[in-house]
Structure 1
Amino acid sequence: MFNSFDSRPRIVRLHGTGSVALPGDAMFEEVVARHPTNPSTRAVITVDVTRISDSCGWGVPVMDKIGEHDLIRRHAEKKGEQGMVEYRAQKNASSIDGLPGLPL
């Protein structure tokens, strides 16, 4: 789902089937190579879109983007690669509703 938070609010939803590419997978390496390096990157999600829907977004608040937070980058850099592996194993093995997390 994508939201527009500027003066013309819109909501766009992409429906389809997703797949996960992990480090070492060709798709992961291809996508990651096109983006700035981030030590917290752990997977690439691709979606085969079968339907696109939109709505008015009248309930979407007006917001301004003033920048990106760097908290996740600093957190990952402080923990290091092995620390992030351990953190994910401890904190991300399942979702808050009990669904399995991404493979470690």
Structure 2
Amino acid sequence: MAKFYPSLTKELREFIEQQHIYFVASAPNQGRVNLSPKGMDSLRCLSDSALAYLDLTGSGNETAAHVLENGRITIMVCSFTEKPLILRAYGQGKPIRPRDTEWQELSPLFPAIAGTRQIMHITVESVQTSCGFAVPFFEFQGERKVLKEWAEKKGEEGVREYWEKNNQESIDGIPTYLLG
């Protein structure tokens, strides 16, 4: 049975911090819904009403475009081991870039990873949990190194060139303002 919360309780924050994978969903006012899996120790509970994740370079920059347009974002975390549980945190997102003043406060909370693009800050408006009884068991074996190695090989300038070519707007043509 689903339960709703106005914020993240201590127990829910502990659950989030124990997971190795989470999913980020966003959508523009008109266009495609985006749903992305994330990992690499990149999600943080900042408080009972705030989350943040380290956003690494990807093939697109959909979430940034969407939250800049309308703010809407959902984070889903679910257990693949032991006690089944699905948690959705609904809120308003904001990309924090290295040029933003909040960067100095938030970036030390995350590991230094080549290709870091931005930090997505989420103000949590509500939380829903559900049973997760149908979620299969999976065992965590480790993080993939491919993205990190790709960014290290490209170097800062190569990653920036990639952003210029591939991360300036969403697939629906919405600007991301990644580079200013």
Q: Corresponding residue for 1:100?
A: 175
**How many residues get paired?**
104
TM normalised by structure 1 equals 0.87
Shift of 1:66: 1.2
CA shift in 2, pair 1:54/1:47, >3 Å: same
The answer to whether residue 101 in structure 2 is matched with residue 26 in structure 1 is yes
| C-alpha distance 74-53 of structure 1, shift in aligned 2 (>3 A) | same
Distance 1:99 1:61 in 2: 36
> Runs in 1 of length 4+ with deviation above 6 angstroms?
none
> Aligned runs of 1:60-75 on 2, under 5 Å?
60-75=135-150
**Following TM superposition, by how much is the alpha carbon of 1:48 offset from its aligned partner in structure 2, in angstroms?**
1.0
Q: Aligned in 2, Cα 1:23/1:53: closer, same or farther, shift over 3 Å?
A: same
Per mean C-alpha deviation after superposition, the further-off stretch among 24-33 and 69-78 is 24-33
Q: Which runs of 5+ in 2 are unaligned?
A: 1-75
Partner residue in 1 for 2:126: 51
CA offset digits 1:45-69 (Å, max 9, x no partner): 1111110101111232211111111
Percent of pairs identical after alignment? 37
1:91 aligns with 2:175: no
Q: Secondary structure at the match of 1:29?
A: helix
Any unmatched runs of 5+ in structure 1?
none
In 2, Cα distance between the equivalents of 1:13 and 1:102? 27
Larger radius of gyration: 1
Q: Which has the higher strand share?
A: 2
Distance in structure 1 (CA, Å) of the matches to 2:156 and 2:163: 11
